[in-house]
Amino acid sequence: MTAEAMVIDFRKSAVPLHAVGGRQPFPETRLPRSGHDPRRGLHFPLPPGDAVVFQSRGKLSDESGAISVTFSFDREDKGGELVETWTRYFHLTVRRAEHEVVLTAYGHDLILGWRFSDGVEYTLEASWDCRVGLALRLNEAGHLVRQVACNLSWQPYRSRWMPIAIGGQLASTEPGKRDWHNTFHGWVTRFTCYTIARWAPGLPRISVSAGETGKHGSAVIPPASGITVLEVHNPPIQDSPIRFDLIPDRLGNFRRCRRMHPELEELYFGAPTAFAGLVNVTRYVAGLWAHCDYWPWPREIFTGRGDTLLTHIKRGETAGMCGGYAHTMEEILWALGVPARRTQVYGHSSFEAYDHTHDKWVCLEADPAGQPGYWESLEGVPLSIGEMVAINEEDLREPGTLQRRVRHVLLGVQLPGGAARRMNPEYMFRHCYTHIGFYKGDYLPERQRHSFWYIPAGRRLSHAEPWSPLRMQHLLDDWRPLYWSCDRVRVAAAWQRRGEILALRFSPFQAQFLAGYAVRVDDGPERHVGARFDWHLHPGVNRISVATRNRLGATGHPWRAVVHRGE
């Protein structure tokens, strides 16, 4: 695959009608026809009503890629925002008065300092890879003068129909609402985008996302006359060779648990989002009993089913430590139709649930031995245990990383005398989240359960645990295979009547107790359908969302599309 995907040379005309790579102007956008120079290109700001906005048409993705912009300034030019894409997640700005270039992507800023001179040609290249990070480099008069990089990672959406705006911004991508804001003052000579990263930082990866991604279903809507695809939300589906394939069919027990403890439905389904529901359930379990001493406790705290377990806990007959809180969470959430699992860390049984709001596994601490709550990135995305372990590793190499990268969110449930053993959240993070272990077949007899562990090289032992045979233990070199997508839908689209009826076909991925699919068209009511749905498009903007729906009422992370049909 060639790296060069699209080239626009503004020296040939104000906006060339054709460009290398097949770029296409955004529909109904009036292109400038004046203000260009055969040597320096196109001068911004543009005349009122004119805009330079293109569809990426598969040439640019937030997974990996690069853009290059050549520009220059007259004495009175102040610079401004050069490029905006990824549906406002990506901004490349030259602040001439501050002598700096700022690349903003997914809430992260990368700053390159330089004093710009009048009439000198500059080429600025931004490069990215979702697994590694962001990079900037600046050429002055053809010579490299400065480069900077930032090591981070993110969950790419891989939407390939996003607008690319050069020299300005659109207030909206919807037809009739395209109010163009001129944000750049200066000359733009040439713009190039690349399908792969040309240069990226090589530091060890630190992840605050859901990890590596595997193959995912097609969500590309076939082209048709009069049809403009405004948005397709289809995050990649992450696979794993060690995911659980089946939870025992305990639907009768799960439903009985909800009948006996009706507060559970309100806690989860009454919340505004799936993640808010998870937080409600965690807070509820954290307040059920005070963390007790190691001995004694009833064995049911590890093996009891949710209906009787909760009954005995409410009576004060059953209590326990971390494993009890984790198992209670596990039972409650499976009864609500939400994937959940106990997860082992150093000296502690922690817990993870699949959050359909953020489409990822997240760690939720209900055990009051520390402080009940969860950890999130500075962008507000809750973390999985694997991500916490990775950040802990980086904090050892670069002290202060933990404080700079994450924050703890308290749930407001504490023991009357304070946290047991005064194990505050940061102490728990540093002490316990140093490695991660997961049992495949957690509902099977112990002799049949295989365990999978990620232990950093500096902490690695000959085996992960002393209480099961070595042949049942598997040591991984990467924590990411311990995570996978749940309750996701793959969507295939084909025109049944071109430009009017789009036939959608659905298939599930890792969806337990599947009952069908929940479809919502525009602002209408939710419909429950099978594996096929015909989407009738009306003139104007059409919206649709599709999610798996299971027999316990929970819905997964939705596939969404926004399409405009002309009159």
Strands 514-521 and 501-509: unpaired
Our measurement of the distance from residue 153's CA atom to the centroid of its chain's CA atoms, rounded to an integer in Å, reads: 10
**Strand positions, DSSP E, 195-322:** 227-233
Residue 85: what residue type? T
The model's pLDDT over 361-412, given as tens digits with 9 standing for 90+, comes to: 999 999 887 788 999 998 899 999 999 999 999 998 888 889 899 999 998 7
- Contact by Cβ (8 Å): 57, 220: no
**Averaged over 202-216, what is the pLDDT?**
32
Whether the CB-CB separation of 241 and 510 falls below 8 Å is answered with: no
Segment 290-305, tens digit of pLDDT: 877 665 667 888 888 9
Query: Which pLDDT band holds residue 210 (cuts at 50, 70, 90)?
Result: very low
Reference 281, options 355, 384, 376; nearest CA is 355
Q: Over 80: is that where the pLDDT of 418 sits?
A: no
Instruction: Dump pLDDT digits (tens) for 439-467.
Output: 877 666 666 778 888 888 777 665 677 77
Give residue 473's pLDDT: 83
Is the pLDDT confidence value at 254 over 90? yes
Residue-wise pLDDT for 130-158, tens only, equals 877 888 999 999 888 888 887 777 777 76
pTM for the complete prediction?
A: 0.63
Joined tokens for residue 37: 């120079």
User: Which residue in the block uniquely carries the two structure tokens 């770029």?
Assistant: 23
Map out the domains of the chain with their CATH numbers. Answer: 4-205 (2.60.120.200), 228-238+486-565 (2.60.40.10), 251-482 (3.10.620)
CA-based angle 141:146:148, to the nearest 5? 145
Q: Report whether pLDDT(79) > 50.
A: yes
Fill in the DSSP letter of residue 3.
S
Residues contacting residue 218 through CB under 8 Å, at least 6 positions apart: 490, 491, 492, 493
Provide the strand spans (E) within 307-442. 340-345, 348-355, 360-363, 373-377, 406-410, 436-440
Q: What is the chain's mean pLDDT, rounded? A: 84
Cα-Cα-Cα-Cα torsion 395, 459, 438, 295, nearest 10 degrees, comes to -100
> What single-letter DSSP state applies at residue 40?
T
Q: Give me the pLDDT at residue 216, please.
A: 34
Q: What are the angstrom distances between the C-alpha of 45 and each of 24, 91, 450, 527?
A: 21, 17, 63, 48
Phi, psi dihedral angles at 517 (to 5 degrees): -135, 145
52-66, 341-355, 414-428, 440-454: least confident range: 414-428
263, 287, 328, 360: CA torsion to nearest 10: 80
pLDDT tens string 387-401: 999 999 999 888 888
Share of the chain above pLDDT 70, in %: 84
Contacts (Cβ under 8 Å, ≥6 apart) of 255: 335, 552
Task: Give me the pLDDT at residue 316, please.
Answer: 86
CB 80 within 8 A of CB 184: yes
